[in-house]
């Protein structure tokens, strides 16, 4: 199916916070209470519309377990958006956010939009992390924040779509170089006519601009 | 029907009698499965999903999961115990189902059930022989069928086992020789299971016939084990490798993940198994080489550099068949994706595996596949583009090291053939090849190791042989110069006045920058020296032909040089380069040349007097002064031993001198390489490239001499063009606009383009000299 843009997302966070369930809810609109441990990467995709444009979200769901971190971090590269998920009923998953954030920022591009998600909002009675704490963490680190429930589907659509909106705005502002696939954005097949432009070409006179090494 | 009826009966019984224990439930579902197979009709075409088998298996699994939740302190519940004791041989049954694929779909079901058992329980007891043996058998039996429709399920089970091994590395042993049965046993179904589940196995029928039909055969199979022991195997890796050639990219991805998990285990003996008992490294590199060979020879080399591929990308992207950007896109993507996998694997894996893999990479890919293409002139452009891109994208230190050593050679070989071949490729009259090879050199320097930078760049300058003692300065010489300068000054006209104003302007700008950075001229003599160095570069070209006489973008260049210099300081911080780097001294080693000849100062100051009476500040420096001071140092040095700058610098200077006759892109990459070299924090290289006042022998080529040569030629040739000022202005606008249509535009002027590149390059060099000087001052404080 034709799309104007394709955005690559990653979902990261501790094991058992509901990353795979969020993905399943978003792509299949269903909830599966028993879910197998994720080891490698699992893919999901869905088409959304922003500003009248078809956008394909290509979502990479990663393993949360520390043991698989060596493979997981190689998937961060080239993502335009990340959902960083914790479980509001497990304080430790919130405490680990800083590590996840450092890891993500180190292995991905600096413009990546990160959405912080407190999942399992349906389990109010077992809540260990206040909503305000999530908000404060997001503010401090420049993230967008939202509480969701993969079980009731509350805010799940919004989480994925708002991240896409933010990426879309960054494209409009020219923050993302959409011709560089390392940014996790691809122009859809019908747009890809402007291919051959030599990127380094004109930097002109700027051996300086062209020969950057980092 | 019968089973459903029993379920109803059971439910009815539950109402009357106390509820059954979990184990009783477990046994009940087990019996239902056995009943089904005892009465199974081979002619029945019903799919397994239409039977009650999935239901019973699911229930059994759920009972294990549930009982585990109630277990305390890591003990095993009765249902799991039944499996471990093999009183309920569920896993053997799954293996039989997978082997027989009866009813249709049973194999996938058996595999997913096995996977789910391992993934949903915290303690799947894999170290028990009654658990791992049937799992191994199941995997081997499925693996016997190439391109099996259940590949996906098979590889998921394998990956799950890798995951368990990752959490508990000791488990790796169950996939090694003493614990792995010989192949015929692995391909057989135990007799008791054959009785319980009397269906004929679809896979390995012959093995069934020969091996498990009689007890005698079984014994002979077991005796083969000793033979097997001699030949150590690591079954887990061998199985994973067999899925790398799957047509399904998702299957390949899973196998890749599994290999990465196992290879990244910190245990030395596992790493040794991977390198010495499995063909893992060889298979992975072989696959890279074959992907390389399948790249069409007529791919446009300029498409190569834009690719940005990570290793799991192919698995996800290739579902999208419409997405093929250009000819060869698919093949290139597939190749670079695999290269990224090799690189990622090398970063994550055990050091033993990393070094074996990188050696294999060099031997079987670089030397075995790529090298011949670099010297084959029909393919050299594309091959150079691909190999350069390879070096650009790799990140693992082992791989970069091996790659660099392949390029520059090891030990004390004086001229490494491959490096010489690359240098010569730059000097052919094929501009495309020159361009791609220059790009390659750019990357070679960017990705340089201490060894490779030494071999390519430093080997000759390390002796400082380019330095010559200041020449004797005799009266004749002075007279000659006087005549010459007077002669030139007579030619002064309005343009000369403008030139002087321009020089004043540049001087002011530099002073502003220096003051701004706290390096006020006059405060310390070194400040004046850096002023001279900067001036030498900025006043290389006469104002009359400059495209941007205002020089509004110095700040940009300084900022950029600062960032890049910092990068190089970090990148070379571990290099064993001379620590006595002293920017003040080397930037302005005019102490050797200029300052040591006060006569020259006096003489030249006098020369300017008629026109520049107000100029008293000795730091004020003019283009002609630089030119002359250069001329001075080049005199009287014919007696000295000639300095050989080596093939690389010979090539660089030759191309540089040829700038006016070369395409813009070639010049752009050429100057980019030189600026990169000028940034390197090595004292000798620094003074060789960035000190215009360096005393050298006449025949010793230097960067500044070569630049002067080009400047002279441009100063001669450009004013001959009709309407040259307009051409300069337009060309600059075009180049700055980054308009891609410019490349196709036929009437661009190569000569003027080279002027603009040179003009900007001089600003860049001045900025680099300044930033390095500033840094050295900072270090002194």
Report the relative pairing of strands A53-61 and A42-50 from DSSP bridges: antiparallel
Average pLDDT value over all residues in chain B: 80
pLDDT of residue B14: 65
Q: What is the DSSP track for A121-186?
A: TT-GGG--S-HHHHHHHHHHHT-EEEE--TTT-TTHHHHHHHHHHHHHHHHHTT-S-TT-GGGSEE
pLDDT of residue A203: 34
Task: Decide if A52 contacts A2 (C-beta within 8 A).
Answer: no
B671 close to A (CB below 8 A):
yes
Smallest Cα distance from A203 to chain B, Å: 6
Smallest Cα distance from A37 to chain B, Å: 6
pLDDT of residue B3: 62
Give per-residue pLDDT as tens, B306-322. 888 888 876 555 555 55
Q: Are residues B677 and B757 located together in one domain of the fold?
A: yes
Q: Are residues B403 and B460 located together in one domain of the fold?
A: no
A76 close to B (CB below 8 A):
no
Longest dimension (CA), chain A: 64
**What domains appear along chain A, each with residue ranges and CATH number?**
5-187 (3.40.50.300)
CA-based angle B142:B148:B153, to the nearest 5?
70
Q: Are residues B35 and B166 located together in one domain of the fold?
A: yes
pLDDT over 50 at B614, yes or no: no
CA separation, residue B622 to residues B496, B503, B523, B541 (Å) = 12, 7, 21, 11
pLDDT over 80 at B17, yes or no: no
pLDDT over 50 at B223, yes or no: no
Residues forming beta bridges with residue B371, ordered by sequence position: none
Smallest Cα distance from B348 to chain A, Å: 6
CA separation, residue B71 to residues A35, B64, B66, B119 (Å) = 20, 11, 9, 17
Task: Decide if A148 contacts A26 (C-beta within 8 A).
Answer: no
- Of B761 and A208, the structure prediction assigns the larger pLDDT to B761
pLDDT over 50 at B222, yes or no: no
**Position B436 in a domain:** yes
CA-based Rg of chain A, rounded to a whole angstrom?
Answer: 18
pTM confidence score: 0.82
Task: Decide if B627 contacts B540 (C-beta within 8 A).
Answer: no
Rounded to an integer, what is the distance from CA A113 to the centroid of its chain?
7
Q: Tell me the chain B residues in contact with residue A212 when contact means C-beta distances shorter than 8 Å.
A: 560, 564
Structure tokens at B631: 């001329």
Closest CA to B682 of B407, B465, B453: B453
How far, in Å, CA of B620 to CA of B506, rounded? 10
pLDDT of residue A98: 96
DSSP class of B341: H
pLDDT over 90 at B528, yes or no: no
**Position B617 in a domain:** no
pLDDT over 90 at B218, yes or no: no
Mean pLDDT check: name the lowest of B110-119, B577-586, B592-601. Answer: B592-601
Return phi, psi of residue B524, to 5°: -135, 145
Dihedral sign, Cα of residue B575, residue B578, residue B584, residue B586: negative
Q: Tell me the chain B residues in contact with residue A58 when contact means C-beta distances shorter than 8 Å.
A: 316
- Of B109 and B532, the structure prediction assigns the larger pLDDT to B109
Chain A contact probe: residue of B167, B259, B312, B388 with most A CBs at under 10 A: B312
Mean pLDDT check: name the lowest of A69-78, B39-48, B613-622. Answer: B613-622
Rounded to an integer, the average pLDDT of B176-191 is: 77
pLDDT-derived band at B587 (thresholds 50, 70, 90) equals very low
Contacts of B178 (CB under 8 A, 6+ apart): B229
- Of A180 and B2, the structure prediction assigns the larger pLDDT to A180
The interface residues of chain A toward chain B in range 155-194, judged by CB-CB distance below 8 A, are 179-182, 189, 192
pLDDT of residue B427: 94
Task: Decide if B488 contacts B480 (C-beta within 8 A).
Answer: no
A32 close to B (CB below 8 A):
no
Q: Tell me the chain B residues in contact with residue A75 when contact means C-beta distances shorter than 8 Å.
A: 310, 312
Give the range of the structural domain holding residue B463, as residue numbers without chain letter. 456-468+509-574+643-737+750-780
Smallest Cα distance from B323 to chain A, Å: 6
CB pairs under 8 A between A and B: 141
Rounded to an integer, the average pLDDT of B391-416 is: 89
pLDDT of residue B746: 58
pLDDT of residue B546: 85
- Of B740 and B352, the structure prediction assigns the larger pLDDT to B352
Q: Are residues B394 and B460 located together in one domain of the fold?
A: no
Chain B contact probe: residue of A211, A212, A214 with most B CBs at under 10 A: A211
Three-state SS letters, B635-695 = CCCCCCCCCCCHHHHHHHHHHHHCHHHCCHHHHHHHHHHHHHHHHCCCHHHHHHHHCCCCC
Structure tokens at B352: 């033993």
A33 close to B (CB below 8 A):
no
Q: Tell me the chain B residues in contact with residue A36 when contact means C-beta distances shorter than 8 Å.
A: 115-116, 119-120
Smallest Cα distance from B240 to chain A, Å: 14
Give per-residue pLDDT as tens, A102-134. 999 998 888 899 999 999 999 999 999 999 999
Q: Tell me the chain B residues in contact with residue A192 when contact means C-beta distances shorter than 8 Å.
A: 325
> Could you tell me which chain A residue has the CA closest to the CA of B120?
A36
Smallest Cα distance from A76 to chain B, Å: 10
A47 close to B (CB below 8 A):
no
The verdict on a CB contact (< 8 Å) between A208 and B560 is: yes
pLDDT of residue B2: 57
Q: Are residues B313 and B365 located together in one domain of the fold?
A: yes
pLDDT of residue B522: 60
> Could you tell me which chain B residue has the CA closest to the CA of A45?
B316
Residues forming beta bridges with residue B176, ordered by sequence position: B234
Domain boundary among B162, B177, B201: B201
Q: Are residues B370 and B463 located together in one domain of the fold?
A: no
Query: Looking at the partner chain, which of B159, B732, B767 has a beta carbon nearest the beta carbon of A40?
Result: B159
Closest CA to B686 of B575, B611, B556, B589: B589
Chain A contact probe: residue of B262, B310, B338 with most A CBs at under 10 A: B310
**Position B389 in a domain:** yes
pLDDT of residue B480: 46
pLDDT over 50 at A195, yes or no: no
pLDDT over 80 at B9, yes or no: no
Rounded to an integer, the average pLDDT of B429-444 is: 95
Q: Tell me the chain A residues in contact with residue B556 when contact means C-beta distances shorter than 8 Å.
A: 208
Q: Are residues B387 and B460 located together in one domain of the fold?
A: no
pLDDT of residue B436: 95
B248 close to A (CB below 8 A):
no
Cα-Cα end-to-end distance for chain B: 91
Dihedral sign, Cα of residue B616, residue B618, residue B621, residue B622: positive
pLDDT of residue B181: 75
Closest CA to B237 of B168, B169, B287, B172: B172
How far, in Å, CA of B403 to CA of B421, rounded? 16
pLDDT of residue B690: 92
**Position B222 in a domain:** no
Smallest Cα distance from A135 to chain B, Å: 33
Burial tier of B413 (Cβ tally within 10 Å: 0-12, 13-18, 19+): exposed
pLDDT over 50 at B415, yes or no: yes
Give per-residue pLDDT as tens, B137-181. 888 888 877 668 899 999 999 999 999 998 888 888 888 876 777
Dihedral sign, Cα of residue A127, residue A128, residue A133, residue A134: negative
Give per-residue pLDDT as tens, B731-762. 888 888 877 676 666 567 889 999 999 999 99
The verdict on a CB contact (< 8 Å) between B119 and A58 is: no
A40 close to B (CB below 8 A):
yes
The verdict on a CB contact (< 8 Å) between B556 and A208 is: yes
Q: Per mean pLDDT, which of B6-15, B317-326, B458-467, B619-628 is the most reliable?
A: B458-467
Q: Tell me the chain B residues in contact with residue A199 when contact means C-beta distances shorter than 8 Å.
A: 306
Smallest Cα distance from B485 to chain A, Å: 33
Query: Looking at the partner chain, which of A75, A200, A206 has a beta carbon nearest the beta carbon of B760?
Result: A206
Total domain count, chain B: 3
A202 close to B (CB below 8 A):
yes
**Position B661 in a domain:** yes
Q: What is the DSSP track for B143-197?
A: HTSTT-TTHHHHHHHHHHHHHHHHHSGGGGGGGBGGGSPPHHHHTS--HHHHHHS
The verdict on a CB contact (< 8 Å) between A211 and B736 is: no
Residue B74 in 3-state DSSP? coil
Q: Are residues B661 and B557 located together in one domain of the fold?
A: yes
**Position B487 in a domain:** no
Q: Are residues B127 and B185 located together in one domain of the fold?
A: yes
pLDDT of residue B632: 40
pLDDT of residue B543: 84
Q: Are residues B414 and B462 located together in one domain of the fold?
A: no
The verdict on a CB contact (< 8 Å) between B116 and A36 is: yes
Q: Are residues B381 and B463 located together in one domain of the fold?
A: no
Domain boundary among B201, B235, B264: B201
Mean pLDDT check: name the lowest of A75-89, A152-166, B318-332, B532-546. Answer: B318-332
Longest dimension (CA), chain B: 128
Q: Is the ipTM of this complex over 0.90?
A: no
Domain boundary among B136, B169, B201: B201
Chain A contact probe: residue of B112, B302, B316 with most A CBs at under 10 A: B316
pLDDT over 70 at B476, yes or no: no
The verdict on a CB contact (< 8 Å) between B315 and A43 is: yes
pLDDT of residue B517: 67
pLDDT over 90 at B673, yes or no: yes
Q: Tell me the chain B residues in contact with residue A209 when contact means C-beta distances shorter than 8 Å.
A: 560
Beta carbons within 10 angstroms of residue B615's beta carbon: 17
The verdict on a CB contact (< 8 Å) between B310 and A180 is: no
Give per-residue pLDDT as tens, A151-173. 999 999 999 999 999 999 999 99
The verdict on a CB contact (< 8 Å) between A39 and B348 is: no
Q: Are residues B417 and B461 located together in one domain of the fold?
A: no
pLDDT of residue B206: 42
Mean pLDDT check: name the lowest of B250-259, B289-298, B421-430, B517-526. Answer: B517-526
The interface residues of chain B toward chain A in range 332-391, judged by CB-CB distance below 8 A, are 344, 348
Beta carbons within 10 angstroms of residue B15's beta carbon: 7
**Position B483 in a domain:** no
CA-based angle B309:B312:B317, to the nearest 5?
75
CA-based angle B682:B687:B688, to the nearest 5?
100
The verdict on a CB contact (< 8 Å) between B760 and A179 is: no
pLDDT over 80 at B123, yes or no: yes
pLDDT over 90 at B224, yes or no: no
**Position B345 in a domain:** yes
> Could you tell me which chain A residue has the CA closest to the CA of B560?
A208
Query: Looking at the partner chain, which of A70, A204, A207 has a beta carbon nearest the beta carbon of B738?
Result: A204
Q: Which helix (H) or strand (E) holds A113?
A: strand A113-119
pLDDT over 70 at B52, yes or no: yes
B69 close to A (CB below 8 A):
no
Rounded to an integer, the average pLDDT of B187-211 is: 64
pLDDT-derived band at B385 (thresholds 50, 70, 90) equals very high
Residues of chain B with pLDDT > 70, as a percent, come to: 77
Q: Is the peptide bond before A39 cis (omega within 30 degrees of 0)?
A: no
Residue A46 in 3-state DSSP? strand
pLDDT of residue B606: 34
Query: Looking at the partner chain, which of A65, A204, A214 has a beta carbon nearest the beta carbon of B736?
Result: A204
């Amino acid at each position: 199916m034709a799309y104007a843009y394709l955005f690559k997302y990653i979902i990261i966070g501790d094991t058992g916070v509901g990353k795979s369930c969020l993905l399943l809810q978003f792509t299949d609109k269903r909830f599966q209470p028993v879910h197998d441990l994720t080891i490698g990467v699992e893919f999901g995709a869905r088409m959304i519309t922003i500003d009248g444009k078809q956008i394909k979200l290509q979502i990479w769901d990663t393993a949360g377990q520390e043991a698989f971190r060596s493979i997981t971090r190689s998937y961060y590269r080239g993502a335009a958006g990340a959902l960083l998920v914790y479980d509001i009923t497990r304080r430790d998953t919130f405490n680990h956010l800083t590590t996840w954030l450092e890891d993500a920022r180190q292995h991905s591009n600096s413009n990546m939009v990160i959405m912080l998600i407190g999942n399992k909002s349906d389990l109010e009675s077992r809540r260990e992390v206040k909503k305000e704490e999530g908000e404060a963490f997001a503010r401090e680190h420049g993230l967008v924040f939202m509480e969701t429930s993969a079980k009731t589907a509350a805010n799940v659509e919004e989480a994925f779509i708002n991240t896409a909106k933010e990426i879309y705005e960054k494209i409009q502002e020219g923050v993302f170089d959409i011709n560089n696939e390392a940014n996790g954005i691809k122009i859809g097949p019908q747009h890809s006519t402007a291919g051959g432009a030599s990127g380094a070409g004109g930097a002109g006179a700027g051996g300086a601009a062209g020969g950057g090494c980092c | 029907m019968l089973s459903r009826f029993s379920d109803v009966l059971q439910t009815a019984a539950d109402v009357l009698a106390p509820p059954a224990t979990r184990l009783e439930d477990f046994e009940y579902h087990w019996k239902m499965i056995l009943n089904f197979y005892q009465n199974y009709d081979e002619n029945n075409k019903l799919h397994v999903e239409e039977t009650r088998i999935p239901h019973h298996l699911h229930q059994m699994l759920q009972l294990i999961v549930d009982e585990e939740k109630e277990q305390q302190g890591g003990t095993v519940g009765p249902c799991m115990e039944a499996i471990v004791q093999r009183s309920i041989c569920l896993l053997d049954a799954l293996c039989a189902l997978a082997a027989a694929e009866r009813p249709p779909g049973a194999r996938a079901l058996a595999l997913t059930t096995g996977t789910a058992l391992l993934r949903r329980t915290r303690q799947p007891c894999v170290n028990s022989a009654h658990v791992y043996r049937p799992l191994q058998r199941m995997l081997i039996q499925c693996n016997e069928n190439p391109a099996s429709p259940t590949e996906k399920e098979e590889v998921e089970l394998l990956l799950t086992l890798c995951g368990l091994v990752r959490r508990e590395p000791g488990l790796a042993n169950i996939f090694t020789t003493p614990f792995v049965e010989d192949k015929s046993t692995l391909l057989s179904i135990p007799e008791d299971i054959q009785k319980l589940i009397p269906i004929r196995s679809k896979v390995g029928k012959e093995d069934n016939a020969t091996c498990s039909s009689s007890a005698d055969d079984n014994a002979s199979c077991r005796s083969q084990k000793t033979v097997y022991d001699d030949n150590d195997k690591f079954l887990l890796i061998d199985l994973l490798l067999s899925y790398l050639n799957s047509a399904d990219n998702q299957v390949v991805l899973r196998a890749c993940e599994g290999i990465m998990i196992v290879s990244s285990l910190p245990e030395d003996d596992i790493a040794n198994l991977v390198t010495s008992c499995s063909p893992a490294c060889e298979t992975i590199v072989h696959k890279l080489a074959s992907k390389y060979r399948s790249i069409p020879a007529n791919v446009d080399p300029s498409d190569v550099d834009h690719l940005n591929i990570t290793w799991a990308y192919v698995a996800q992207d290739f579902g999208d068949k419409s997405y093929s950007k250009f000819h060869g896109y698919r093949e290139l993507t597939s190749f670079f994706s695999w290269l990224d996998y090799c690189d990622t694997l090398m970063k994550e894996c055990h050091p033993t595996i990393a070094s074996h893999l990188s050696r294999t990479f060099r031997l079987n890919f670089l030397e075995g596949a790529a090298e011949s293409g670099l010297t084959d002139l029909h393919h050299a452009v594309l091959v150079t583009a691909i190999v350069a891109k390879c070096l650009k994208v790799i990140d693992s230190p082992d791989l970069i090291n091996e790659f660099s050593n392949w390029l520059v050679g090891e030990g004390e070989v004086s001229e490494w053939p491959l490096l010489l071949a690359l240098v010569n490729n730059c000097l052919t009259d094929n501009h495309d090849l020159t361009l791609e090879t220059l790009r390659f050199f750019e990357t070679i320097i960017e990705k340089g190791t201490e060894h490779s930078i030494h071999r390519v760049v430093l080997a000759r300058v390390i002796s400082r042989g380019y330095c010559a003692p200041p020449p004797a300065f005799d009266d004749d010489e002075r007279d000659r110069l006087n005549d010459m300068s007077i002669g030139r000054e007579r030619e002064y006209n309005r343009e000369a006045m403008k030139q002087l104003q321009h020089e004043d302007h540049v001087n002011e700008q530099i002073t502003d920058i220096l003051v701004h950075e706290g390096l006020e001229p006059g405060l310390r003599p070194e400040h004046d020296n850096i002023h001279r160095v900067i001036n030498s570069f900025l006043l290389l070209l006469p104002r009359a032909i400059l495209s941007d006489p205002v020089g509004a973008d110095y700040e940009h260049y300084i900022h950029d040089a600062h960032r890049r210099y910092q990068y190089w300081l970090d990148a070379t911080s571990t290099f064993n380069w001379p620590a006595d780097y002293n920017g003040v001294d080397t930037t302005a080693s005019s102490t050797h040349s200029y300052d040591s000849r006060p006569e020259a100062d006096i003489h030249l100051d006098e020369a300017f007097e008629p026109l520049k009476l107000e100029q008293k500040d000795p730091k004020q420096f003019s283009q002609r002064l630089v030119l002359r001071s250069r001329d001075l140092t080049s005199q009287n040095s014919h007696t000295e031993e000639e300095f050989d700058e080596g093939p690389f610098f010979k090539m660089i200077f030759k191309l540089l001198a040829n700038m006016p006759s070369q395409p813009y892109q070639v010049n752009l990459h050429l100057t980019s390489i030189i600026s990169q070299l000028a940034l390197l924090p090595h004292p000798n290289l620094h003074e060789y490239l960035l000190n215009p006042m360096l005393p050298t022998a006449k025949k010793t080529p230097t960067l500044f001499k070569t630049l002067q040569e080009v400047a002279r030629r441009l100063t001669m040739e450009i004013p001959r063009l009709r309407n040259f000022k307009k051409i300069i202005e337009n060309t600059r606008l075009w180049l700055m606009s980054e308009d891609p249509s410019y490349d196709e535009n036929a009437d661009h002027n190569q000569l003027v383009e080279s002027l603009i590149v040179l003009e900007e390059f001089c600003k860049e060099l001045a900025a680099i000299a300044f930033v390095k000087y500033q840094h050295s001052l900072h270090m002194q404080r």
